[in-house]
Amino acid sequence: MKLDNKPFEEKMKKTIAVYESQLDSVRAGRANVAVLNGIDVEYYGTPTAINQMAEVKVTDARTICITPWDATTVKNIEKALLASELGITPQSDGKVIRLMFPQLTEERRKEMTKQVAKMGEDTKVSVRNIRRDAIDKAKELKKSGEMTEDEQKQSEKAIQDLTDKYIKEVDAVTAKKNAEIMDI
């Protein structure tokens, strides 16, 4: 009996998907509404995502416009944006909030590539933890007699091959994002 790699591969795929969605929120100098993900606004006592209480759109390469459906929430949205780690001061005319993304400096780009690299390393650690769990499972099956030593070695090699594949994918995603940051 060989170890079923499917559940472990699914976990690795999900780990990569989470990493890619985290990268969407990294501000690369262009306006991208994904930078607002994770910023909640106090709305009638409930933390609410900005895109659930306002129209959010990119008007040009460096500007996001936020038009709240309820004009009384403009101040709360501004407060939430200022409190976030976005690093951009919102400009408001009382009805529409504009976020102007400044041109990135070389120093800031290098900082961002370091941040992306750290996120990539964290993702690799997660993939390796999934590998460890799979190898532990194979050892457990061997110990209980459900798997021979040869089957255990084959299973461990298959898991290692899978791990290598997803580590390379993390490297590719990281390189692509870094190129995007440095290219702007």
Provide the pLDDT for residue 27. Answer: 62
CATH topology for 33-100? Gyrase A; domain 2 (3.30.1360)
Provide the pLDDT for residue 172. Answer: 93
CATH 3.30.1360.40 maps onto the chain at 33-100
Q: What is the pTM of this model?
A: 0.69
The parts of the chain modelled with pLDDT lower than 70 are 1, 25-31, 184
Provide the pLDDT for residue 180. Answer: 80
Provide the pLDDT for residue 184. Answer: 57
Provide the pLDDT for residue 130. Answer: 93
Beta-carbon contacts of residue 85 (< 8 Å; ≥ 6 apart): none
Provide the pLDDT for residue 178. Answer: 85
What is the C-alpha to C-alpha distance for residues 80 and 41, in angstroms, rounded to an integer?
A: 6
CATH topology for 6-24+105-183? Topoisomerase I; Chain A, domain 4 (1.10.132)
Provide the pLDDT for residue 15. Answer: 93
Angle among Cα 122, 88, 74 to the nearest 5 degrees reads 115
